[in-house]
Amino acid sequence: MSKGFFVFGVLLIWGCLNPDEFISSQKLKDLLARKPENFYLVDVRTPQEYREGHIPGAININHTDILLTPPTTDKDAILVVYCRSGNRSGQALRALKQAGYREVYNFGAISNWTDNLVR
């Protein structure tokens, strides 16, 4: 692969990622501590993965069902999604944004969580 194609690919991928859509572990901890009324932490993995360990306060909605059974109908709610690697949460984020939800953030991989999980 030529250097030009590599640089083009990196720039193309970079342009597809919006850093404003990601949330840090510390910001998520702050939200969980404040517990705003319209805040939802959504684990978009399978129910089995959720049972094996999830972030405290998270609800489980499989990423394929996120629009069929959204966590809320309030389009101004704060939604944070996560999964095993960040792929499914990215898909869920895009679907929710396309459905009109305005405050959707991707925590990415559950391994980004630095505290204990609920098991």
Q: Which CATH class is domain 19-112?
A: alpha beta
CA 92/CA 82 separation, integer angstroms: 9
Q: Out of 41, 44, 83, 93, pick the active-site residue.
A: 83
Return the pLDDT at 81. Answer: 98
Question: For 45-90, what is each residue's pLDDT tens digit?
Answer: 999 999 999 999 999 999 999 999 999 999 999 999 999 999 999 9
pLDDT (0 to 100) of residue 11:
34
Q: Establish whether 16 is a catalytic residue.
A: no
Q: Residue ranges per domain, the chain?
A: 19-112
Percent of the chain scoring above 90 in pLDDT: 82
The first and second tokens of residue 25, run together, are 């572990």
Q: What is the DSSP letter of 27?
A: H
Taking the C-alpha atoms of residue 78 and residue 5, their distance in angstroms, rounded to an integer, is 38
**Gap between the Cα atoms of 30 and 20, Å rounded:** 17
